[in-house]
Amino acid sequence: MFNEDTESVCGTVDSVIYQSEETGYTVCEIEDDKGFPITLVGAMPYICEGDTVTATGKWVNHPSYGKQFKVAAYEKTLPTGINDILRYLASGTVKGIGPKTAKKIVDRFGEDTFDVIENHSEWLAEIPGITVRKAADINSSFIEMSGARNVMMFCADFFGSATSMKIYKKWGGSAIDRIKKNPYSLCDSFSGIGFKAADSVAESFGIEKDSAARVLAGIAYTHETAAHSGGHTCLERSALMAEAARVLEIDSEKIASGISVGISMGRLFEYSHGGADYIYLDRYYKAESFCAEKLLRMDKSCPRISRGDISAFISKVEISSGIKYAALQKEAIASALSGGVMVLTGGPGTGKTTVIKGLISIFDSIGLDVAICAPTGRAAKRASESTGFEAKTVHRLLEMEHSDDVEPRFLRNQSCYLDEDVVIVDESSMLDTLLLDALLKAMKPGSRIIFIGDRDQLPSVGAGNVLADIIDSARFTTVCLTEIFRQAEESRIITNAHLINEGKMPVTDNRSKDFFFLSRRTDADVASTIADLISNRLPRAYGEELCSGIQVITPSRKGAAGTENLNLLLQRAINPPSRNKLERQAHGIVFREGDRIMQIKNNYDTEWVKDGYEGYGVFNGDIGTVEAISPSDETMTLDFDGRFSSYDFSSLDELEHAFAITVHKSQGSEYPLVIIPLYSCAPMLLTRNLLYTAVTRASRMVILVGKREVLETMVANNMHTTRHTGLCALLNKNG
């Protein structure tokens, strides 16, 4: 372990042992004023031999390299003594100057060397071996280094080294002027720099609260907050004005003026539908507009297959597979073959997978390439297992590449279409507007898209209401499978899920093998019963194999049976402290080796390795385990279903425990055994579709624990949270 108190060290860089051009991570050795060597490690981009460095941080003990100083922040200055100047130039830091040339320059100009290189570079040409052109090149390289140094030092007052390096790499020497002119431009250009951070920079410069740049940035921040928390792609003008005025602490008239400026600049859009005026951020308006236009075009331009041929295809598949399709299943297959856009919905056990398998077989027989994808890794894994056909996440299908941009960058796009002729999107209720926009941009002319999903489940985590809007537009064929097949009828999970969806109480007589209700009168009893089930009763009754797949899915984060309290209880019960398990505390959570964890925000930069394949991106809702914790390296190794990723301790605020998760976070996943607490929480969370979504996450067993009156309330409450979106209206307008 190490001392948490921050310390400072100062000295001259004697040698740079390692430095990453991409991340700025550096290992170097300095010599302090007493002549003692100190090894510095951390993000220190552009550190060079001869630099004088003052670093703040803490001491750590590396198991192989011993005592090191872990740098949290640093400042550096150019060397001043002749020997240090010579060492700096001889290190090759300035392009065009090697050891011999460095000695000639320093011998000639002494302590004025840096001033000559920067301001009188033509004097360098007086030295034999340095031409006028080479002198100019040396000057350019030195000024570039000075620019980097100045930007890094300027940004150090506001950001960490890694973020400062991103700013310099993107904006170069002009970064300081750009930030001073409009600090809020940082929000639009760099992931990880939000409005509040930019607002702090602006405040330090004395920028007024009602400045045009701040008002526009605050409106955008208010809109993005609503998109992330409520799933809205647009907001009613009056609601946006009121909330933005509250956030920015200025009057609504200035907000109205800011909206007008934003519209004139093309950063905001106004669109009226349903008798109300809505304001969009440009990216959401452009995304929904493009999706509406592209879907309508695909449906019209896709090559048709005659009904006679379709009947023959269906008969052939029935014979080869030994399956007799129901009437609605035949209708679904026919609709998918005869149009460019089709939606297939239905609850569990209604045969959606059977239809998908039939479609894959038919498309393959007529020479059409098919891709199956899903919005999350777990949903893609489920699709692969159920169909026997490789499914990918949408991000992987589109070949997402590493990028420092605010939004992900895909190699498959309008300039490089997907090769496939048919794309089947499973778990489409989880598909958000921006992801649909990226997918449709990558689909070639004449291709087909088939949406598979259950609109009665919760909508996507990201902004939009894609599946519901497409269905409600009535512009495309939608087939809803309703028949529960014989094998599925034997599952109380499936039959009860359908009862819940119909507003009827599930059967809870505890006579089945896969659906149980345990009555508890207090919320504390609910929580303690769940902990006892997981740590004692279920392992004794069913063995470790089934119990390793237990997932607690609860309506809320708060309360005695919410995720926050349950995760504390369950960590204690399932993965208690041990001398053999390392720990790390971050943002109030103790992470321990062996813990189950969840990523709680999209991070497109996170690197991972799986079976020798390297990739980027860990997404909101991804669940994994803590494989190892390294205090010396300040990293934690995580396993996300075989994707191994190393997280710096500074990134642990992106993680939380996942012994218990909310229903919203469980979307698209399936677990052998699901335990659902029924307890007193916010009434807005006690809804039918939330209970239905939780129940349908289980494949082998559901256990409800709690109050019957809560169960009755949830079944009866068919309230759906309103999302303000425009895709449905745009589909009907464009048609």
pLDDT digits (tens, 9 = 90+) for 194-239: 899 899 999 888 899 999 999 999 999 999 999 988 999 999 999 9
685, exposed or middle or buried, with CB in 10 Å at 0-12, 13-18, 19+? buried
Give the CB-side neighbour count of residue 459, counting CA atoms within 13 A: 23
What pLDDT is attached to residue 616? 80
- Has residue 151 got a pLDDT over 70? yes
Contact, 31 vs 14, CB < 8 A? Answer: yes
Crossing angle of helices 307-321 and 327-338, in 10° steps, is: 130
Give CA–CA dist 390/372, Å, rounded. 7
What pLDDT is attached to residue 667? 83
CA nearest neighbour of 168 among 144, 185, 192: 144
Share of the chain above pLDDT 90, in %: 55
Mean per-residue pLDDT, 449-470: 92
2 pLDDT band, cuts 50/70/90, is very low
Chain mean position to CA 478:
30
- Has residue 3 got a pLDDT over 50? no
Three-point CA angle 209, 212, 218, nearest 5°? 65
Q: Look up the pTM and report it.
A: 0.81
pLDDT digits (tens, 9 = 90+) for 132-148: 999 998 988 887 777 77
What pLDDT is attached to residue 307? 76
Contacts of 119 (CB under 8 A, 6+ apart): none
What pLDDT is attached to residue 1? 34
Sign of CA dihedral 690, 726, 477, 669: negative
- Average pLDDT of the chain? 89
Q: Which residue has the higher pLDDT, 5 or 159?
A: 159
Q: Which residue has the higher pLDDT, 641 or 567?
A: 567
What pLDDT is attached to residue 658? 95
pLDDT digits (tens, 9 = 90+) for 631-681: 877 789 999 988 999 998 878 888 999 999 999 888 878 899 999 999 999
pLDDT digits (tens, 9 = 90+) for 317-336: 989 888 899 999 999 999 99
What pLDDT is attached to residue 221? 92
403 pLDDT band, cuts 50/70/90, is low
The DSSP secondary-structure symbol of 404 reads: -
What pLDDT is attached to residue 245? 94
Q: Worst-scoring range by mean pLDDT, 264-268, 308-312, 494-498, 632-636?
A: 632-636
Contact, 88 vs 53, CB < 8 A? Answer: no
Mean per-residue pLDDT, 296-323: 88
What pLDDT is attached to residue 445? 94
Sign of CA dihedral 172, 174, 178, 180: positive
Q: Where are the beta strands (DSSP E) in 24-78?
A: 25-31, 37-43, 52-62, 66-77
Mean per-residue pLDDT, 580-594: 91
Highest mean pLDDT among 123-127, 305-309, 406-410: 123-127
pLDDT digits (tens, 9 = 90+) for 336-358: 998 899 999 998 888 899 999 99
First CA to last CA distance, the chain:
65
Query: Which tokens is 197 given?
Result: 């951070």
The enclosing H or E element of 183 equals none
Query: Which tokens is 598 given?
Result: 């969840």
Mean per-residue pLDDT, 271-291: 94
- Has residue 572 got a pLDDT over 50? yes
Mean per-residue pLDDT, 687-704: 94
Three-point CA angle 605, 608, 609, nearest 5°? 150
Contact, 653 vs 601, CB < 8 A? Answer: no
For 146-200, give the DSSP string.
Answer: HHHHHHHHHHTTTS-HHHHHHHHHHHGGGHHHHHHH-TTHHHHH-TT--HHHHHH
Three-point CA angle 202, 192, 149, nearest 5°? 65
